[in-house]
A and B are shown apart, each in its own frame.
Chain A
Amino acid sequence: MIFTGLILGGLNLTAQTDISKEYKVKAAFLYNFSQFVDWPAEAFPEVRAPLVIGVLGEDPFGAYLDEIVRGEKVNNHPLVVQRYRRVEEIKTCHILYVSQSETNQLEQIFTSLKGRNILMVGDVDGFTLRGGMIRFVTEKNKIRFRINVEAAKAAKLTISSKLLRPAEIVAPGKD
Chain B
Amino acid sequence: MKSRATQRCTTRRKSRRAWSPAHAFMVLGLVIFASDAPGQTQETLPPPSVMKKLSVDELMDIDVTSVSKRPEKLSGTASAIQVITQEDIRRSGAASLPEALRLASNLEVAQVDSRQWAISARGFSSTTANKLLVLVDGRTVYTPLFSGVFWDAQDTLLEDVDRIEVISGPGATLWGANAVNGVVNIITKSAKDTQGLLVLGGGGTELRDFGGIRYGGTLSSNLYYRVYGKYFDRDSAVVPSGRDATNDWYKGQGGFRLDWDATEANLLTLQGDIYDGRIAQPGTAGDIAVAGGNVLGRWSHTVSEASDFKLQLYYDRTHRDIPGTFAEDLDTYDLDFQHRFPIGERNDIVWGLGYRLIEDDVGNTAALAFLPARLSRQWFSGFVQDEIALVRDRLHLTLGTKLEHNDYTGFEVQPSGRLAWNVTQHQTVWGAVSRAVRTPSRIDNDFFAPGNPPFTLLQGGTNFVSEELLAYELGYRIQPHPRLSLSLAAYYNDYDNLRSVEKVNPPAPFPIVIANGQEGESYGAELTAEYRVTDWWRLRAGYTELRIHVRAKPGSTDTSNGSGESHDPNHQVTVRSSWDLPGHLEFDAGFRYVSQIENQKVPAYEELEARLAWRPIPKLELSIVGQNLLHNHHPEFGALASRQEIERSVYGKVTWRF
Contacts and interface: CB of A to CB of B under 8 A. Distances in A.
B70 to A, nearest CB: 7
A139 to B, nearest CB: 9
Contacts of A144: 60
B264 to A, nearest CB: 6
Interface size class of B (residues with CB under 8 A): 35 or more
Nearest to B264: A21
A155 B560 CA distance: 69
Interface string B472-495: 000000000011000000000000
A129 B223 contact: no
B555 interface: no
A6 interface: yes
Contact of A28 (B52, B258, B482): B52
B470 interface: no
A82 interface: no
Given A11-B220, A11-B223, A21-B45, A16 B262 contact: yes
Contacts of B258: 7
B3 interface: no
B501 to A, nearest CB: 44
Contacts of B299: 3, 6
Contacts, number: 128
A138 B222 contact: no
A91 interface: no
B195 A21 contact: no
B270 A173 contact: no
Interface residues of A, number: 54
B615 interface: yes
B313 interface: yes
A141 B62 CA distance: 8
Contacts of A169: none
Q: Which applies to chain A's interface (DSSP): helix, strand, loop or mixed? A: helix
Contact of A173 (B54, B90, B261, B535): B535
A101 B619 CA distance: 12
B477 to A, nearest CB: 17
B63 interface: yes
A1 to B, nearest CB: 7
Contacts of A64: 48
Nearest to A36: B56
A86 B297 contact: no
In this complex, which of B220, B483, B580, B618 has the most chain A Cβ atoms within 10 angstroms of its Cβ?
Answer: B618
Given A15-B221, A20-B66, A108 B618 contact: yes
Contact of A21 (B65, B260, B615): B65
Nearest to A17: B264
B409 interface: no
Contacts of B615: 108
B640 interface: no
Contacts of B88: none
A21 B54 contact: no
B268 interface: yes
B66 A10 contact: no
B407 interface: no
Contacts of A21: 45, 62, 64-65, 264
A131 B580 CA distance: 14
Interface of B: 45, 48, 51-52, 54-57, 59-66, 70, 87, 90, 193, 195, 220-223, 258, 260-264, 268, 270, 297-299, 305, 313, 482-483, 532, 535-536, 580, 584, 615, 618
25 contacts: A3-B298, A3-B313, A6-B299, A7-B268, A10-B223, A15-B221, A20-B66, A20-B264, A21-B62, A21-B65, A22-B66, A25-B59, A68-B48, A72-B52, A101-B193, A103-B87, A108-B618, A129-B532, A129-B535, A130-B535, A142-B60, A142-B64, A144-B60, A166-B60, A173-B535
Interface of A: 1-4, 6-7, 10-11, 13, 15-16, 18, 20-22, 24-25, 27-29, 31-32, 36, 58, 64, 67-70, 72, 86-87, 100-101, 103-105, 107-108, 129-131, 138, 141-144, 162-163, 166, 171, 173-175
